[in-house]
Amino acid sequence: MRLPDGYVPVALFGKDHWSTLAYMETVMVECAGFEVGFDPRMRQNRRNYRVMWEQVPHPKRVDSRSARGMVMDLKYSTKMKDGSVVQGHDDWSCVQDMANAGFLTAVVEPGKVLHLTPLGRKMSDELRAHKRAGGSFGNFNPPW
């Protein structure tokens, strides 16, 4: 799948996007924001792995001391809601998609600290309610 403007529209967000949003919100609560940088819990393509490791190797994270990151295999590229795959699209690409959709307060650059916008908080609240009711990240549909 190729994206016309480089970003995935919210209507196509699938499990990978929504689970990344849930993880980011957890870190934001625990660490007063989500610092863009090397994160072993996030899938990273070669370019993002290198850039993050070189520029921000130790951002604030919940218990990140023990984890070691690695470059993802292309077969783990982001899957969309419709089942298509965007080759080379990693969790940092999902974060950029969320920033483009207006969920985050800052541009996604190494070292920047991200917070949820009111729209991002609303989406995160809806996602948590969906999960509490027994839903999964893969079958979440935004309320709008």
The two three-digit tokens of residue 51, written as one number: 């850039």
Distance between CA 89 and CA 126 in Å, rounded? Answer: 25
State the pTM of this model: 0.89
C-alpha distance from residue 113 to each of 46, 49, 76 (Å) = 22, 18, 26
Note the pLDDT tens digit of each residue in 5-41: 689 999 999 999 999 999 999 999 999 999 999 888 8
Note the pLDDT tens digit of each residue in 44-58: 888 888 898 889 888
Note the pLDDT tens digit of each residue in 84-124: 999 999 999 999 999 999 999 988 999 999 999 999 999 99
Identify which of 5, 21, 10 has the alpha carbon closest to the alpha carbon of residue 144. 10
Identify which of 117, 114, 99 has the alpha carbon closest to the alpha carbon of residue 59. 114
| Segments making up each domain of the chain, as ranges | 10-127
